[in-house]
Structure 1
Amino acid sequence: MHRVTFSSILLCAIASSPLIAQSDAGVDTIAASGYSGFTQSPGIISNPLSQPTLTPGALVLLELEGRFSQAVAEGGGRAFGSWFAEDGVTLNNGKPAILGRTAIAAQAQWDPKTYQLSWTPQGAQMGPSNDMGFTWGHYEGHSKDKNGEPVVISGRYFTVWKKLPNGSWKVALDASADEPAATGECCVLPKP
């Protein structure tokens, strides 16, 4: 509940900012909506207040990412697939690219009751024309193995967003990679 309150306050402050008033209509619409869709994992916080150079466009992308994450937490794979553009692409470790919303939706068939995917944006950049940008951050997936033991996967993600002619935003590209090895683990020689 604390996060929702903070997000609501943050969005109200952003909506009244003179920077928002100078931005395009898409930015105004999302920032003024009052939607508090940011979700954050403990220890991994993307705080716009600690990033004084965060632009209104980046805030739009962070808001979209929060809505996307919340929708997937509630709706699982079906919700995941619905956020993609018709020509969207997913790229995942060790797997072939999946091209197109229909194919992505066909692959994303998990139930949120058995697999929980969550992520936290850690940064965003909007392109100069305010119709395309990207976000990046950390993700976690929680499930259980065949013995009922918890399984946790984690890694980094990168999402490219594009604004469609009708003014809506969709995911053009979603890519993820497993969490890197802990510092020093990749190059340590076995001890005799």
Structure 2
Amino acid sequence: MRIIPVVIVAALAASACHRGASSPGSSFAGASLLTPLSEAEEAHDALLRADLGRADSVTRLGFASGFASNFATDVVYLRGGLPIVRGRDAATTIVRAESLAAGTAVRWQPVRAEASADGRSGYSYGYTILSMPAAAGATPAIRVDRYISFWRRDSTAWRIAAYAETYGAPPPPLALPVAAAGAAVSDLPMLRARGPLEQVRAADTAFSALAQRVGTGRAFGDFAAENAQIFSTPGEFITGPNAISESFGPSGSSGALVWHPVAGGVAESGDLGFTVGNAVFTGLREDGGQVVRYSKYLTVWKKQRDGRWRYVVDGGSARPNQ
């Protein structure tokens, strides 16, 4: 929702044929995947390998260098508690500033991966599992976060063009590194574009406008694809327009959520895209006092058979008051 070293998950061949979505339990063997939503099966498999393969990169290079090696040069990166930043150098600086205890194991368990029709863009999302070291004889502590990645394939590999993490627990406080401050994306509405990118921008803008007219829950239901998922609390996904809409409660009961996209991207084939943006929630506490929360989001969009754009996954995390 808009306000979110290393083990490979079983054998890819076995993982890719699973059906249904599940949260990670005591055993993480075998990613439970939803049926791929596009016909680009070869690209889908390559994308899934890239998503799982981040674990290999981290094993070989360490967390920061391994994770950052997957970033596109113009990656848009959303870390909890920080503003949106753009660029591999800035994102890498933030990743290096993370305070993971020595010996922490990190891996990614995808729930869904889908490639665009041209096989050159795609998205994946699922769970990030961190296993933190414990004293001798004690059970390691496990933290489960969730992630969304939008990918683009260059001449050599799949690269992450946009990445957001939604945390299962409040993330360790982190100040925006000075070296990354200049890469913060301005909190200005995304400029009009052309072609499919403009369609995606317009869809997100209309999505927010509808929320102001009819309520957040109804808007999230109306703009959801048939199998869309949003991140819920704690650690689960809500699936489908009706369940998503109902999760917000009666219209107007929880306050108002307003947002606008600040950047985006789209597949060359014009069937998948993403927007990132900033949101503000305004509500009332039980004592009548006002509550204001600032957040950022990453939304992945898919063009439907009727030509409309609908989101397939949406998630995000807190940001500073800008």
Which band: TM-score by shorter chain?
A: 0.5 to 0.7
Q: Residue 73 of structure 1: which of 212, 232, 238 is its match? A: 212
Q: Are 1:139 and 2:279 an aligned pair?
A: yes
Q: Which amino acid aligns with 1:59?
A: E
Q: Are 1:126 and 2:266 an aligned pair?
A: yes
What residue number does 1:46 align with? 189
Question: What is the CA–CA distance in structure 1 between the aligned matches of 2:291 and 2:282, rounded to whole Å?
Answer: 6
Q: Residue 64 of structure 1: which of 177, 192, 203 is its match? A: 203
Question: What is the CA–CA distance in structure 2 between the aligned matches of 1:139 and 1:123, rounded to whole Å?
Answer: 13
- Which of structures 1 and 2 has the bigger CA Rg? 2
Q: Are 1:158 and 2:298 an aligned pair?
A: yes
1:115-161 per-residue CA deviation (whole Å, 9 max, x = no partner) reads 11001111010111101100001111100001110001111101111
Structure (1/2) with the larger strand percentage: 2
Q: State the Cα distance separating 1:109 from its structure 2 match.
A: 2.1
Please state whether the residue corresponding to 1:48 is helix, strand or coil.
Answer: coil
Q: Which amino acid aligns with 1:149?
A: G
What residue number does 1:85 align with? 225
Question: What is the CA–CA distance in structure 2 between the aligned matches of 1:70 and 1:118, rounded to whole Å?
Answer: 8
Unaligned runs of 5+ in 2: 1-185
Question: What is the CA–CA distance in structure 2 between the aligned matches of 1:94 and 1:46, rounded to whole Å?
Answer: 31
Q: Which amino acid aligns with 1:46?
A: P
Call closer, same or farther: CA 1:170–1:78 in 2, change over 3 Å: same
Question: What is the CA–CA distance in structure 2 between the aligned matches of 1:70 and 1:181, rounded to whole Å?
Answer: 22
Please state whether the residue corresponding to 1:67 is helix, strand or coil.
Answer: helix
Question: What is the CA–CA distance in structure 2 between the aligned matches of 1:163 and 1:171, rounded to whole Å?
Answer: 9
Question: What is the CA–CA distance in structure 2 between the aligned matches of 1:113 and 1:44, rounded to whole Å?
Answer: 27
Question: What is the CA–CA distance in structure 1 between the aligned matches of 2:208 and 2:311, rounded to whole Å?
Answer: 12
**Contact 1:92/1:176, CA 8 A, preserved across alignment:** no
What residue number does 2:9 align with? none
| Paired positions, count | 136
Question: What is the CA–CA distance in structure 1 between the aligned matches of 2:190 and 2:312, rounded to whole Å?
Answer: 25
Q: State the Cα distance separating 1:178 from its structure 2 match.
A: 1.6
Relative contact order (C-alpha < 8 Å, sep 6+): which is higher? 2
Question: What is the CA–CA distance in structure 2 between the aligned matches of 1:125 and 1:101, rounded to whole Å?
Answer: 24
What residue number does 2:46 align with? none
Call closer, same or farther: CA 1:97–1:72 in 2, change over 3 Å: same
TM-score normalised per structure 2: 0.39
Please state whether the residue corresponding to 1:102 is helix, strand or coil.
Answer: helix
**Contact 1:93/1:178, CA 8 A, preserved across alignment:** no
Question: What is the CA–CA distance in structure 2 between the aligned matches of 1:95 and 1:152, rounded to whole Å?
Answer: 23
TM-score normalised per structure 1: 0.63
Q: Which amino acid aligns with 1:147?
A: D
